[in-house]
Chain A
Amino acid sequence: MDGVFSQLSVLGSSLVLLFGLILLWRRGITAYIGAFAWQSIVLAGVTVVVAYFGNDYELYWVAAGLLLLKGLVIPRLLRRMARRFTAERELEPYVNTATSLVVSGLLVLFGYAITRPLVALSQLPTRAGMPLAMGLVLVSLFVVISRKKALTQVVGFLMLENGLALLAVLGTYGIPLIVELGVFLDVLMGFLVMQIFIYQIHETFESIDVEQLNRLRH
């Protein structure tokens, strides 16, 4: 029983990490949004698995919230935003695609290294997925600092949040529902603020390339 549980959680967290890697490999913003939506659906699936095997009924509500907010609402808002910026493809990131993929592989290895004491200490059957969640956090941080388009950075930030949620679910079988609701509200508010910023950047510079912000210096 525990074997099935740990295998399912590792499978789910690997899928979540792979959807994060799509952000470095593809160039179109629609592909990023699809990857984010699918990643959130898989994350909700992992939460349901933990809820079922850990007998924690509150986690079903968390999974439903994840599915609703990050699987449906935010991707829909992102798509509506991306429709205005279809010409904005991630053509020249600061680090090119091949290098950034290799770097992300190394970052996942680094994630394994820094979660080693955590995994050694934990007795939970889900502990094997924790390095992958930490790897996703590092990879999406790398996306945020190495990509130029504001929309890509927003998706990277949302994926970072997904990685943290996965780490919380795997490491502690989820935080209390009320805290989780607060996090959902924070994510939604943060996303709306970033949306306003993107529209402002686009209005000022006719582009959502953050490179343009250097012109504000003088």
Chain B
Amino acid sequence: MTLAIAVASLLVKLLVLAATIAVLETRIAKLRLFRVPELLSVSFVLALLAVTSSFLLR
């Protein structure tokens, strides 16, 4: 029973995340070339924050 709930919630979470990422990616499809470094620094900062929050909060 718990396993079924876990699998179902994981699937729902993945679906929501996939839809969000698809919407975001299609909305910035026309990213101009000179803004690519900014995109890279955004992803760097997001990764940094993710690592920090998962390590420092445990």
Contact = CB atoms under 8 A, between A and B. Distances in A.
B52 A98 contact: no
B53 A97 contact: no
> Size class of B's contact patch?
10 to 19
B45 A105 contact: yes
23 contacts: A10-B53, A10-B57, A14-B49, A18-B46, A21-B45, A97-B38, A98-B38, A98-B40, A98-B41, A99-B41, A101-B38, A101-B42, A101-B44, A102-B41, A102-B44, A102-B45, A104-B45, A105-B44, A108-B48, A108-B49, A108-B52, A112-B56, A131-B56
A105 B49 contact: yes
A2 B1 CA distance: 22
Contacts, number: 40
A208 interface: no
B54 to A, nearest CB: 11
A81 interface: no
- Taking chain B's interface residues, is the majority helix, strand, or loop, or is none over half, making it mixed? helix
Contacts of B41: 97-99, 101-102
B30 to A, nearest CB: 14
A25 B42 contact: yes
A72 interface: no
